[in-house]
A and B are shown apart, each in its own frame.
Chain A
């Protein structure tokens, strides 16, 4: 006898099984394990950390877009934020969902294919927060199914990546002392690591790790060492009879902010962070000594925060040459010799190659015109050439580069950096006593301009008119050899640029500009291949990702997040 099951009878278990499998798969996709973060380069369809991967190369293996078809790139969607102001964020993309921060301290989850919004998390930013330079937030981190947001009032918040619901909220530092957090956190193993902003307000900077599950602080590393700690001796005692104002407690408000996301080498279990300027910014006389670890890179054990090594780029800095850039970790083999290095395009105008296991200086050379130093000695220490009073110093206060993310392509073995060329400032110092929560800069740089009263190059943002012009400096994307720093090509722009860079496996380089152009260059030659005028300044880092077999490239221009893909 043959038994025939009623229609639907056998389908139910199958359907349930399929649903279970689908849920399991969905659940697995939603979980961004620390293993996935370590191997982020292996899933180029996603953009899992601020800089794409732990090595911060901002290089993608995606190659659907290529020089041969880039002319067919077209806009697919636009998301417009409700708040105006410079937008520096880099989005994450996780399995088709994009997470981006917007002013003042929101997180938005969008469909990465259409730009339609799933949810918005709105952090209640206190009106009396004192973050330097506006409501900047550069992005979130993800671990498991949790997003991590650093806030302008110096809290760290965990958010459910699916619902946008808040899971925990930990106070990291005191906003009344002008501590703030503007960087995208870095998730490593079971911890979330952040650094503090406030280096122009006399904070004592630190990097701290928090348990990703509970928000409990796991370790803290002060970028300004206290009494008894190695490096404290570089905050030298004041002379018995100082000829100018000298602060005997300078280290207590010595700055050393950390406002960009660090990098991580899983094989060494070291996490690397760029440290900002000493405070006050411009009056070095009141804080004698090299002022460690200001303007340095520090290598910290990811589990304990223990300092393994440091390298200081600009000792006793009077120019606000923050070393808050992205540490780019690269493995290169030259002439059969493997190099495990860190590449650094510094605000002070020099490009550095460091051994990232030891911090040893390997090479360095200027990537822009500069005159504050005539070179570097064998240890990488600058041979300084201070300019006479009233004379311009190059690069100027905004630096040869700044927070704009660089890129490295393993195909070209070139390091790409956004640079400001022919840009100088006349520095002037002034004694300033520290007062909690207040700006603490110790002087003011004057823009070097060809005519008195000529407009200043805007430090953070610009409108649609360029009134300062090329006479005050101009921007460029510069490609240098990863090991020698030798310039290979340069793409010049009329205005200075604050855009991050992105390279791909098809030898494309994406760059933006303050002028509002989003442009694709040939990563090997610097030739312009494609451009689009987006109407607002691009001061974030472009990303690329893939959804349903289509490669997208996205950037933020003005108040709009824009995604492009090839025409079907």
Chain B
């Protein structure tokens, strides 16, 4: 893609996202906007230089507690863009400079440039350097529900089964490049907690499902009949964790445009 097309694409994406985020609840979906053309996933409303500078500030000042992926503090998922104590950028600046009393979030003294950078980075942690082409959200929805048959396993906004992971907020939790890999090589990006498991109880019952949680003595899963099941490992004759995803690859099944369209739709799913 030429530089000119890239710039045009960025502008289109930025406009679309601005419209989406300008919706009354701030949670508008690109899928309802029907953006035309293929574009790059790109930060919105923030300068790339600020984002990169903010990443450096984050690595120096924040990583010790929040971790390199922003998920080091329980219940705090910075890449999701949803914060417990901040909605606006002003809120973010306040939390950073004042800390949150009674928690591990101590005040962080940053200069003006660093503050601009860190907020820009926090707003864009879920994007990454890998170039990803996004297509049309509306067409992506059609492929998702039609040719892709994604609703055969996945659930979005109350539609579809519960066997595979719910995708209603997948665009907030996974970077576009990871979503793209999930479409082409699902096993390579399957989160370990989502791994399929098979158990055989000492009574001979055989149950397959998707893992939801596990500890030393028990495992929780959703079985193939969409039932929540919990097993004591002491009661299992066999317990197998599989590392191959049951999801088929769409490599060669969808053309480039269809992949870009589905990807645009997935990125738009923010919960």
Hey, which chain A residues are within 8 Å of B59, CB to CB? 430, 441, 443-444
Name which residue of chain A comes closest to B74, CB basis.
Answer: A463
Hey, which chain A residues are within 8 Å of B158, CB to CB? none
Residue in A132, A443, A458, A513 whose beta carbon sits within 8 Å of that of B74 in the complex: A458
Residue in A86, A103, A447, A466 whose beta carbon sits within 8 Å of that of B68 in the complex: A447
| Residues A456 and B64 in contact, CB atoms below 8 Å apart | no
Q: Would A459 and B67 be within 8 Å (CB), given that A451-B190, A469-B192 are in contact? A: yes
Please tell me if A95 contacts chain B, counting CB pairs below 8 Å: no
| Residues A127 and B178 in contact, CB atoms below 8 Å apart | no
Complex Cα gap A452–B130 (Å): 12
Residue in B175, B190, B215, B243 whose beta carbon sits within 8 Å of that of A466 in the complex: B215
Q: Interface code B66-86, partner A: CB below 8 Å = 1, 0 otherwise? A: 011101111100000000000
| Closest-CB distance, B184 to chain A (whole angstroms) | 13
| Closest-CB distance, A215 to chain B (whole angstroms) | 26
Hey, which chain B residues are within 8 Å of A454, CB to CB? 191-192
Please tell me if B193 contacts chain A, counting CB pairs below 8 Å: yes
Name which residue of chain A comes closest to B63, CB basis.
Answer: A444
Please tell me if B23 contacts chain A, counting CB pairs below 8 Å: no
| Residues A471 and B63 in contact, CB atoms below 8 Å apart | no
Please tell me if A371 contacts chain B, counting CB pairs below 8 Å: no
Please tell me if A290 contacts chain B, counting CB pairs below 8 Å: no
| Residues A132 and B217 in contact, CB atoms below 8 Å apart | no
Residue in B69, B104, B109, B216 whose beta carbon sits within 8 Å of that of A438 in the complex: B109
Hey, which chain B residues are within 8 Å of A506, CB to CB? none
Name which residue of chain A comes closest to B190, CB basis.
Answer: A451
| Residues A456 and B68 in contact, CB atoms below 8 Å apart | yes
Residue in B72, B73, B103, B192 whose beta carbon sits within 8 Å of that of A472 in the complex: B192
For chain A, the bracket of interface size reads: 35 or more
| Residues A466 and B109 in contact, CB atoms below 8 Å apart | no
Q: Would A439 and B102 be within 8 Å (CB), given that A444-B68, A469-B193, A531-B217 are in contact? A: no
Complex Cα gap A131–B75 (Å): 21
Q: Would A134 and B216 be within 8 Å (CB), given that A439-B64, A453-B189 are in contact? A: no
Q: Would A83 and B102 be within 8 Å (CB), given that A453-B189, A531-B217 are in contact? A: yes
Hey, which chain B residues are within 8 Å of A493, CB to CB? 215-216
Please tell me if B150 contacts chain A, counting CB pairs below 8 Å: no
Q: Would A451 and B192 be within 8 Å (CB), given that A133-B65, A446-B68 are in contact? A: yes
Please tell me if A130 contacts chain B, counting CB pairs below 8 Å: yes
Hey, which chain B residues are within 8 Å of A443, CB to CB? 59
Hey, which chain B residues are within 8 Å of A439, CB to CB? 60-62, 64, 108
Please tell me if A445 contacts chain B, counting CB pairs below 8 Å: yes
Please tell me if B101 contacts chain A, counting CB pairs below 8 Å: yes
Residue in B65, B72, B217 whose beta carbon sits within 8 Å of that of A517 in the complex: B217
Please tell me if B161 contacts chain A, counting CB pairs below 8 Å: no
Complex Cα gap A196–B196 (Å): 47
Please tell me if B34 contacts chain A, counting CB pairs below 8 Å: no
Residue in B62, B191, B216 whose beta carbon sits within 8 Å of that of A513 in the complex: B216
| Residues A129 and B106 in contact, CB atoms below 8 Å apart | yes
Please tell me if B181 contacts chain A, counting CB pairs below 8 Å: yes
Please tell me if A450 contacts chain B, counting CB pairs below 8 Å: yes
Q: Would A453 and B175 be within 8 Å (CB), given that A130-B106, A130-B107, A439-B62 are in contact? A: yes
| Residues A461 and B74 in contact, CB atoms below 8 Å apart | yes
Residue in A131, A440, A468, A494 whose beta carbon sits within 8 Å of that of B215 in the complex: A494
Complex Cα gap A127–B98 (Å): 9
Complex Cα gap A438–B62 (Å): 10
Please tell me if B253 contacts chain A, counting CB pairs below 8 Å: no
Name which residue of chain A comes closest to B178, CB basis.
Answer: A453
Hey, which chain B residues are within 8 Å of A468, CB to CB? 192-193
Complex Cα gap A469–B195 (Å): 10
Please tell me if A31 contacts chain B, counting CB pairs below 8 Å: no
| Residues A127 and B107 in contact, CB atoms below 8 Å apart | yes
| Residues B216 and A465 in contact, CB atoms below 8 Å apart | no
Hey, which chain A residues are within 8 Å of B174, CB to CB? 453
Please tell me if B214 contacts chain A, counting CB pairs below 8 Å: yes
| Closest-CB distance, A497 to chain B (whole angstroms) | 9
| Closest-CB distance, A384 to chain B (whole angstroms) | 23
Name which residue of chain A comes closest to B114, CB basis.
Answer: A438
Name which residue of chain A comes closest to B77, CB basis.
Answer: A455
Please tell me if B256 contacts chain A, counting CB pairs below 8 Å: no
| Residues B72 and A456 in contact, CB atoms below 8 Å apart | yes
Q: Interface code A73-109, partner B: CB below 8 Å = 1, 0 otherwise? A: 0000000000111100000000000000001100000
Name which residue of chain B comes closest to A176, CB basis.
Answer: B109
Hey, which chain A residues are within 8 Å of B62, CB to CB? 439
Within A16-70, which residues are at the interface with B (CB < 8 Å)? none
Q: Would A135 and B67 be within 8 Å (CB), given that A451-B190, A466-B215, A494-B214 are in contact? A: no
Complex Cα gap A446–B107 (Å): 24
Hey, which chain A residues are within 8 Å of B56, CB to CB? 430
Complex Cα gap A513–B192 (Å): 20
- Residues of chain B touching chain A, judged by Cβ–Cβ distance below 8 Å, are 56, 59-65, 67-69, 71-75, 98-99, 101-104, 106-109, 174-175, 177-178, 181, 188-193, 195, 211-217, 243
Q: List 18 A-B contacts (CB under 8 A).
A: A85-B104, A86-B104, A103-B102, A432-B60, A437-B109, A438-B109, A441-B60, A443-B59, A447-B67, A447-B69, A449-B192, A451-B190, A459-B72, A460-B104, A465-B212, A466-B214, A468-B192, A513-B216
Known A-B contacts: A438-B61, A450-B192, A458-B74. Give 18 more (CB < 8 A).
A84-B103, A129-B106, A131-B106, A438-B108, A443-B59, A444-B68, A447-B68, A447-B69, A450-B243, A453-B69, A458-B73, A460-B65, A461-B73, A461-B74, A465-B213, A494-B214, A515-B215, A517-B215
Shortest Cβ-Cβ A-B pairs, 5 listed: A134-B104, A471-B192, A463-B74, A469-B192, A515-B215
